[in-house]
Structure 1
């Protein structure tokens, strides 16, 4: 198995200590400065300028994490849905202006959804209709800007559910993201399949991966090696994938990026 090149998720202010490692090898970078209301309103220009400055000289692939708090891509309130769309469009502007070609958004699928799927008529169809109302303008804007929206598993139980939602748009501007920790947590909490199954189900639609470890109880965002994830199986599935997803460490403590990378490198999985 050929080791895979990995990068990291950071705020602009956190890049400097990792600059040589990231920039010299043209590693993937995900900027995480554009998730809050303030970041996309009153602090917008300031954060754009900071990200552009911090990324000067970087020639690898770039992405951003889009906003998510209170911004479910399935919202039952018709008055709120246009506001969510507007927020996502603003985040796409940020991505474009800093040269990012991906934006991470969160999945709306949960165990509640999975268990209630057949409890009322047209449950899945109604949910998908609301998702399209919010996301269709965002997908069209992403197509125009050459940016791919990547939908990250959060509480997902069945990876196929999110994949089919992505496929329903019929657009190359929306694809799949996998957070390894979230998948492992779902495995422990809800009986979801193991992390490598999430990867294999995504197949060629996999465009982005958050690499993080945990204990199976909480969303720890520990460096690989500190938790319980079976990294050999995960990277075997990634190696079998025909896509070339952004692979980025998303750690609670950015100072542990070298530790997490070192663990995967020592296993012969990352370079």
Structure 2
């Protein structure tokens, strides 16, 4: 069964999004931003989904050289861990960014410091978290495999659409991932298009998902696109050798 991100219904209230996904999947990743921001676990407790939570990303920068911003960003993610603990959810986070190329090394130090603090917070709450690779947004960490050593010992969430934008999907697929975000694009924009509407080879992607025994989350921008993506992915799985 493929999981689904509430991103496809981010313009709807969270309760309505969860209702609409019930006939499609039993695994949901809540995009903890905008209308789906989680102040508590209460909105999730009425449903029997297996949950993942994509932690808030807007305004959050765990690599910031401005210490009040870095500390506040860690606190925001720690609050997400507290909500996740109540529903047994794993959490996906973004790696942060730097403002100037000359600050990259110092920002990497702050990123590592934040990961150390977040690891302790997650362990205190018995929560697992993964760090996601970024799209073609300048100055973000984890756009390529070169940055994977920065998250050594922490789970990796492979966003295949982001990797495709940076022209390094094949390289990322060679590395184990604990979690996958599945959406398509043509390599020029982060469109979160349905599977098959872009240039990604999802046969190779699904081979890696099976190898890693990871959770695949469909992160497409419309509900119709989610449904067509699941059909396409199921057909790819059915045609795989040995399946």
Q: How high is the TM-score relative to the length of structure 1?
A: 0.74
How many angstroms apart in 2 are the aligned matches of 1:177 and 1:197? Answer: 14
Quote the residue 1:82 is aligned against.
71
How many angstroms apart in 1 are the aligned matches of 2:146 and 2:45? Answer: 37
Decide whether the 8 Å contact of 2:3 with 2:25 is kept in 1.
yes
Is 1:51 the counterpart of 2:44? The answer is: yes
Whose relative contact order is higher, 1 or 2, with alpha carbons under 8 Å and at least 6 apart? 1
Per-residue displacement from partner, 1:83-124 (whole Å, max 9, x unpaired)? 111111111111112321x111112368x99xx5xx79xx53
Deviation at 1:146, TM superposition (A): 2.1
Q: Mark the CA change 1:18 to 1:132 in structure 2 (over 3 Å): closer, same or farther.
A: same
Decide whether the 8 Å contact of 2:134 with 2:143 is kept in 1.
no
Quote the residue 2:165 is aligned against.
185
Matches within 5 A, 1:118-157: 124=105, 126-155=106-135, 156-157=142-143
Deviation at 1:245, TM superposition (A): 1.8
Deviation at 1:15, TM superposition (A): 2.5
Quote the residue 1:235 is aligned against.
206
User: Among residues 104, 119, 129, which one is paired with 2:92 in the alignment?
Assistant: 104
Deviation at 1:13, TM superposition (A): 2.5
Deviation at 1:150, TM superposition (A): 0.8
Runs of 5+ in structure 2 lacking a partner? 7-13, 136-141
Q: How high is the TM-score relative to the length of structure 2?
A: 0.82
User: Among residues 147, 158, 165, which one is paired with 2:150 in the alignment?
Assistant: 165
Per-residue displacement from partner, 1:207-230 (whole Å, max 9, x unpaired)? 111000112221111110111111
Give the length in aligned residue pairs: 227
How many angstroms apart in 2 are the aligned matches of 1:128 and 1:218? Answer: 26
Per-residue displacement from partner, 1:6-54 (whole Å, max 9, x unpaired)? 211124431323313323xxxx32112x2359935xxx14xx322211x
Task: Name the SS of the counterpart of 1:267 in structure 2.
Answer: helix
Decide whether the 8 Å contact of 1:196 with 1:237 is kept in 2.
no
Decide whether the 8 Å contact of 2:88 with 2:127 is kept in 1.
no
Q: What CA RMSD, in Å, does the superposition of the two structures yield over aligned residues? A: 2.7
Quote the residue 2:138 is aligned against.
none
User: Among residues 63, 71, 85, which one is paired with 2:60 in the alignment?
Assistant: 71
Quote the residue 2:171 is aligned against.
197
Decide whether the 8 Å contact of 1:154 with 1:182 is kept in 2.
yes
Is 1:13 the counterpart of 2:16? The answer is: yes
Per-residue displacement from partner, 1:130-188 (whole Å, max 9, x unpaired)? 11333322211111222211111114442141x21111xx4xxx31011111111111x
How many angstroms apart in 2 are the aligned matches of 1:70 and 1:142? Answer: 21
Task: Name the SS of the counterpart of 1:268 in structure 2.
Answer: helix
How many angstroms apart in 2 are the aligned matches of 1:68 and 1:251? Answer: 18
Quote the residue 2:10 is aligned against.
none
